[in-house]
């Protein structure tokens, strides 16, 4: 195995939207060590999903290169798994069948595959729903099926795009811990996108903060805290606040009012000579 699992070098990706060019990503440099857990946060639209699609090989870079395990990424591979932002289940397949798709091309016998699928159904807390179809699941349950499908094949590199976004707080905390346990046990390199800064700091060896327009890396934080981590640990909370501040600094325009010409008309002002109405509680 190479010293670097994933090497993203000067990557850029633009999209044509009508007559406009959107620079979804520009100058992205990131090296990830084997078995490292890197989390990514950034404002909506800053290119997080685009980056994961490029790394997994579902999309191709305009500029720069992506090397995984010594080979240039030029298409999807069994060694790279992805859990998308939305579950993307096949509606005509059951929970078991959807998860088994993750093993379709794995060199394993039927029984071994069946056992792995069953283990992962339990892992994501869906025992009893093996024969359910996606339309019979809640949004959070469907996402758990997608997480199981991403994990079941034990890829070298697992890319997760906001995998816990649709889950309730308890299930989310449980799956974060499970994911961490599997990561520590299996040595999978992980790249996880989240909107939750606390989750990013709790799970990551490093947290990448991205900035929008154009999508780029603003700052990278080392999270050198021992594991297992305590969510209430003061050092963790301090780091969370630093990452949050860096994230907020990437969107300084959010609070600036739009120029008057495209803003709503100014609200009517009170004529200077008209007194304010007496307050309702006045006794005068």
Ligand X SMILES: Nc1ncnc2c1ncn2[C@@H]1O[C@H](COP(=O)(O)OP(=O)(O)OP(=O)(O)O)[C@@H](O)[C@H]1O
CA atoms of 113 and 102, how far apart (whole Å): 10
Residue 162 contacts residue 193 (beta carbons within 8 Å): yes
DSSP annotation of 135: G
Question: 268-271 long-range CB contacts below 8 Å, 24 or more apart?
Answer: none
The one of ligand X, Mg ion, none whose footprint includes residue 105, by CB under 5 to 8 A per kind, is none
Q: What is each CA distance from 269 to 64, 83, 103, 168, 221, in whole angstroms?
A: 55, 53, 66, 45, 48
Residue with Cβ nearer ligand X (45 or 187): 45
Q: In degrees rounded to 5, what are phi and psi of residue 234? A: -65, -35
* Options 38-46, 99-107, 183-191, 201-209: segment touching ligand X (CB under 6 A): 38-46
- Chain positions 29 to 58 lying near Mg ion, rule: CB under 5 A, are 48-49
CA atoms of 80 and 189, how far apart (whole Å): 10
CB atoms within 10 A of CB 52: 24
Residue with Cβ nearer ligand X (54 or 239): 54
Number of residues that bind Mg ion (CB under 5 A): 2
The one of Mg ion, ligand X, none whose footprint includes residue 45, by CB under 5 to 8 A per kind, is ligand X
SS3 176: helix
- Chain positions 7 to 26 lying near ligand X, rule: CB under 6 A, are 15, 17, 22, 24
Instruction: From 171, 117, 106, 177, select the one nearest 139 (Cα to Cα).
Output: 171
The one of Mg ion, ligand X, none whose footprint includes residue 177, by CB under 5 to 8 A per kind, is none
Residue with Cβ nearer ligand X (24 or 166): 24
Residue with Cβ nearer ligand X (16 or 283): 16
Residue with Cβ nearer Mg ion (213 or 227): 213
Q: In degrees rounded to 5, what are phi and psi of residue 25? A: -145, 140
Establish if 254 lies at the interface with ligand X (CB under 6 A).
no
Residue with Cβ nearer ligand X (42 or 155): 42
Out of 9, 27, 49, 244, which residue is the one contacting ligand X (CB under 6 A)? 49
CA atoms of 150 and 192, how far apart (whole Å): 12
* Distance in Å, CB of 42 to Mg ion, minimum: 9
* Distance in Å, CB of 24 to ligand X, minimum: 3
Establish if 46 lies at the interface with ligand X (CB under 6 A).
yes
Binding mask 198-227 for ligand X (x = CB under 6 A): -----------------x------------
Out of 44, 105, 261, 269, which residue is the one contacting ligand X (CB under 6 A)? 44
Residue 146 contacts residue 163 (beta carbons within 8 Å): yes
CA atoms of 36 and 11, how far apart (whole Å): 20
The one of Mg ion, ligand X, none whose footprint includes residue 24, by CB under 5 to 8 A per kind, is ligand X
CA atoms of 230 and 73, how far apart (whole Å): 36
The one of Mg ion, ligand X, none whose footprint includes residue 17, by CB under 5 to 8 A per kind, is ligand X
CA atoms of 94 and 2, how far apart (whole Å): 39
CA atoms of 85 and 271, how far apart (whole Å): 52
Number of residues that bind ligand X (CB under 6 A): 14
Catalog residues that contact ligand X under the rule CB under 6 A: 15, 17, 22, 24, 42, 44-50, 85, 215
């Amino acid at each position: 195995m190479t010293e670097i699992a994933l090497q993203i070098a000067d990557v850029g990706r633009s999209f044509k939207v009508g007559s406009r060019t959107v620079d979804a990503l520009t100058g992205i440099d990131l090296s990830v060590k084997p078995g490292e857990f890197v989390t990514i946060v950034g404002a909506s639209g800053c290119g997080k999903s685009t980056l994961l699609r490029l790394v997994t090989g579902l999309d191709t870079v305009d500029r720069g290169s992506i090397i995984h395990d010594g080979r240039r990424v030029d298409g999807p591979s069994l060694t790279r798994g992805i859990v998308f932002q939305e579950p993307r289940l096949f509606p005509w397949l059951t929970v078991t069948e959807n998860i088994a798709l993750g093993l379709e091309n794995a060199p394993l016998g039927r029984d071994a595959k069946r056992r792995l699928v069953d283990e992962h159904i339990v892992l994501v807390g869906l025992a009893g729903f093996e024969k359910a179809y996606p339309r019979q699941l809640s949004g959070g349950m469907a996402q758990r099926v997608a997480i199981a499908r991403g994990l079941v094949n034990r890829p070298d590199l697992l890319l997760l795009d906001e995998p816990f976004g649709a889950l309730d707080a308890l299930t989310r905390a449980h799956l974060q811990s499970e994911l961490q346990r599997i990561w520590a046990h299996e040595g999978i390199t992980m790249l996880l996108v989240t909107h939750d800064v606390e989750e990013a700091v709790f799970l990551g060896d490093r947290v990448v903060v991205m900035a929008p327009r154009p999508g780029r890396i603003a700052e990278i934080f080392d999270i050198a805290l021992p594991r297992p981590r305590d969510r209430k640990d003061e050092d963790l909370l301090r780091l969370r606040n630093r990452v949050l501040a860096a994230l907020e600094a990437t969107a300084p325009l959010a609070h600036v009012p739009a120029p008057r010409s495209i803003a709503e008309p100014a609200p009517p002002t009170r004529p200077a000579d008209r007194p304010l109405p007496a307050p309702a509680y006045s006794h005068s």
